[in-house]
Amino acid sequence: MRKILLAALALGLGAAGLAGSALAQSAPPAGAVRPAPPAAGVVVGFNDKTLTVKDAHGMVTTYAVADDARVLRLRKIDPSAIKPGSFVATANVNQPDGSGVSTEFRVFAPALKGLGEGHFPMAGEAPGTMMTNGTVTAEVASTPRGREMDVIYSGIGGQGVRHLVLPANVAIREMSLVDRTQVKAGIAVEVRAARGPDGLLMARAILVGENGQPPAS
């Protein structure tokens, strides 16, 4: 599930450039930049301004690369990496006691702290599914339900504290900002792009994994 990532990126990069996010649901006006479907494949070529990707069906797509496009690495990490001060993003389901049980969980590297901060309903998901992006306030406790923590947020949806339960079966991913030199021919990527009024595709975010492997899903 990528919606949590897309929603966070939409807040940081502009919802028009990222398809599928919780904040990019309404149709843009005629002539505006329009979201393009997320795409995955292997890099054929990249020269900092242009990215060419071949998908699993052999289709080749070329993107212009926005000057402010980010290259983001997604990798699996151990739950012990969640500490006080960690900035996290999680899709979570409302519980009767006001807490949330996570269904997807990301830890953002320090350079991305604050991206998409807030607490709000996720469009297109089951009722009671929230997105919470904020800072872990204290030590994470291990309980029979999983790992439990308080996350403070201020942004979309106002200010507050969300008590979260992270079940043991929910994988944790770290998202970090990396240099564009990480994008090379032969590696697997996912591309978040927008299509301009001229029909050209503009890459807004490029997701990479480790050692050329696909981004951790």
In this prediction, residues 75-88 reach a mean pLDDT of 94
The DSSP element (H or E) to which 87 belongs, if any, is: strand 87-94
pLDDT 10s digits, 99-125: 999 999 999 999 999 988 999 999 888
Q: Does some domain include residue 195?
A: no
Q: Which residues pair with 100 in a beta bridge?
A: 94, 164
> What total of structural domains would you count in the chain?
1
* Residue range(s) defining the domain that contains residue 89: 78-171
Q: Does some domain include residue 139?
A: yes
Residue 35's pLDDT is what?
Answer: 79
Q: Does some domain include residue 25?
A: no
Average of per-residue pLDDT values in the chain = 86
Q: Does some domain include residue 101?
A: yes
Burial of 131 (0-12, 13-18, 19+ CB in 10 A): buried
Please report the sign of the dihedral spanned by the C-alpha atoms of residue 106, residue 192, residue 121, residue 119. positive
pLDDT 10s digits, 23-78: 333 334 444 567 788 899 999 999 989 999 999 999 999 999 999 999 999 999 99
Q: pTM for the whole thing? A: 0.78
Q: How many C-beta neighbours within 10 Å does residue 38 have?
A: 17
Q: Does some domain include residue 124?
A: yes
Q: Are 66 and 200 in contact (CB under 8 A)?
A: no
